[in-house]
Structures are given as C-alpha cells and as structure tokens.
Structure 1
Amino acid sequence: MARQLLQHCKKCGAWTLQRDCPHCDEIANAAAPIKWSPEDQRANIRRKMYDVESPEWLTTLPNLKTITDSRKAILEEE
C-alpha cells in the first residue's frame, strides 16, 4: 500500500488513488512528500540509526559548489 493516498503518474500525468496508473499502467508516485514536523518524535531514532554524529557520516554528504563558482558557471554558459 502506498504511504499516501493521492498518486501522480509521471509518464502521462494522470492522478489516481491506485498504485498503478489506470491510463498507461505505469507505477504512480506519491503526489507530495510526506509531511514533516519540527516536533518530530522519531527524529532521535533516525539520528541514531544513521549515526549522524560520526565523522564518517559527514563524508557521505554531497559537496555543493560555492556561490561564486555557481555564478561563474552561469556566466560562462551565457
């Protein structure tokens, strides 16, 4: 069962309450992300599960370009 009732087909754009699109038989995805609350009662459990306090966890995060590098790349494209 889907985690949310409303599903959206990315192939044909149809909306449905079923997991499979009735129009094109593709798998439909959740229409919106699951709601998040700052008073998340399970955040502690998730932090322990992913071990976010360890230095190894930091190395798994993606590195983003600096704003200066991003601006240079945009100017070069133009």
Structure 2
Amino acid sequence: MTLQQNRATPSPARWDDVQIGDRVNLQRNGHLEHTGRVDNRTPDGAIVWVTPEGGSRKLFHIADGYQLTAVAAEGTPDEDN
C-alpha cells in the first residue's frame, strides 16, 4: 500500500498561496495540530517550514495530509485564502 492510499483526506496539489511571514494553522483530520509563521517554502508550494511562537521550525510536506490555512493578524482565518 502506498502513502497515497493511506491518506485520510486528499490534500491540495500545493500550498503556493502562503508567503514567508504569514501566520498559518495546520489541521489534519479536522483537528488543529500546529500554528505559527511560515519561515520558508519551496517555490512549488509543496513544502513549508513553520515556526511556532517560542519554538523550533518544523517542515511540512503537502502529502502529509495537512490543511494549511493563513490566519489574519487578529487570529481569525484570512478570508483571502
């Protein structure tokens, strides 16, 4: 069985709508698992590095099954994404 077959929900083809410095939430299976700022990303949007406040940056790949959402400064989801 491949990773593709094990994924609970399909994810988008890439995360190219977020930019370095954007605040983001990463949810998986309907649960918020990570939050922080985009520290870096690949040009194709397949990989982002997110740094939580006071923590070390983590790498996330689009195939990991996360839904990435940009967050407005006041903590509500950004309506543009």
TM-score normalized by the length of structure 2: 0.23
Give the number of the structure whose residues are more often strand, by fraction: 2
Decide which structure has the larger Cα Rg and report it: 1
Greater relative contact order (CA < 8 Å, ≥ 6 in sequence): 2
TM-score, length-scaled by structure 1 = 0.24
Greater share of residues in helix: 1
